Structure 1
């Protein structure tokens, strides 16, 4: 017998149909997501390339899923770093290490992924052809990257060491191999650097030695002044001649190729005490009593009859009242009665001579303090030129040359004029890139003074927010900030 239709059965069938539809839609969504989210990405890590399949939507998640650990200074590039990760993208990771470059005499730590001296110098030449401004220091010539630091320069390399110049014909070798071929042994503290000078690649060895120097420094004698009443006012007489003392200072000195480069005070001791100079001076001249004009001079004389004195005193008293009436609009004070005898004025007593103050010796001018770079080195209080030399190499490692470099210069010209101490009164923006304190490397305490730290933070900010200086300038033109 056929099942009869009932309202309850209808509701049950409808729920089944809805559940089936939801399941179909959900399954279709999963299949669609799996197809669209699945990406084929080319991953290159330090020159090794492989193609991998991933469902990650961002580059950081992708690198994490592939077990690629990166540090803060590593260089990470993707096809479109601002749009996330897409199918057929290319992600490149270059592990950075720290070397040292020389900019206008300053030893500046520089993070780079360059695999050769030629490549590193090429970063600076990409935006400035005057590469002689920069030399690359090889911190440890026998342990810089795998197999040593490679010069990688086609053609010969000029080697300068111990006052001698020679030529190595093959610039494709490591610095260690070239030095070994010349029988040049590197000491623990010796320095090796590579530079481009007049189209030539120079591999230079600087011998570093340490020693002590003792200096004799004069100790200025003090001066004491005494008052001698037997001398005339203003007269001076040297009772004991002063004599400078002497102290010995011992310095630890660092020599580079025989020339003193830096010194540190180790100790000092006074070997001869200074002799005090004693100067006698005469007493100060007495201060003359102030004179009063008019008839008052008669009363000061102390001579004449009492009546004369009284009349003179009356006259003086009336003058005083007249003066009071002239100097004030109030009722004049009553005059002194003429019957009151005037007191004869006392002759003025000579004042006790006041000793002249001891002439203090003129203090030597205090030299203005010169800030010194911290022991770790850095681009300490750089000039505009030095800051741009550093920035041009750092920007080139992001691939920012040509218009990107020109726009970076333009932005920081307008933001700070490339001044390391530029501040913004309306925000925490500071330094060459004028980015907020939040974006600076606040974990590094040298950011207020170290131009290298500021520039590195500024480039990181532009790369993360805009992708390039070209895009940052477009935003700046529209908003007058970036």
Structure 2
């Protein structure tokens, strides 16, 4: 006689398909529970808005990993936190972030007494934290300034000695600067640079200088030398950098390579701040406080920043020209 009673399933009797369904249901429940916890924590943090007292954000001496943009080249200890000031976002990179205040310090962001910060300065942060700063009476103004181009002279035996020929015309670059401006009675009473970056890099003017005999063929104007050429400094800053390199045993090639990299990275603006990465200064160090190893005045002194740049190129690429060759292929260094 057939037994029509429903059998109670056991773990051993479950089919492979039934096991897959059970596992999928358990995983979905776990994901929903985790999402609820994250949403609750984010909501609790986002409700805190606190007026704060002004403080200097340049006291931090925290070191970071290398200057590169990807996490692999930055090191596992580097963190990313987004700071939004009056609706304008910027990424701050650094190490040992503990709370909101530590992020602002490493990002060199100085607060005014009337600023509203959310979440509060003592709130713990993660890479998902978005710090919002509202500055009353301030607007974000964006302006463009020129980056001068350099003249590079390259010797070639394809031209008779004593003659010169322009191989490439120079073109100024563009530096875009966004400032947080406070006005009263139609007049600017305060202006703080929020971000300043190379919108368009300058194009070098290249002049070929002949070294050949008068009977040399002039049909070819390509340089026969592998030299990067001799770069004419375009500013007082560049003149100092040139003299510093030559006095320390470097070559004209090294100076030309340095000018090219810094022209593209910061336009020789010691306060250049990339809004996307938070890179800072002439060499666009990530974060800027990493340059503290070259001097306590790293945030404002172009000489300290340039010395750090030279040391970085030496340690990572074996020299400035090595960094230059990497930049040409990767558009970063």
Q: TM (normalized to structure 2)?
A: 0.29
Query: TM-score normalised to the size of structure 1?
Result: 0.20
Between 1 and 2, higher relative CO (CA 8 Å, sep ≥ 6) is seen in 2
Instruction: Look at both structures and tell me which one has the larger radius of gyration over its CA atoms.
Output: 1
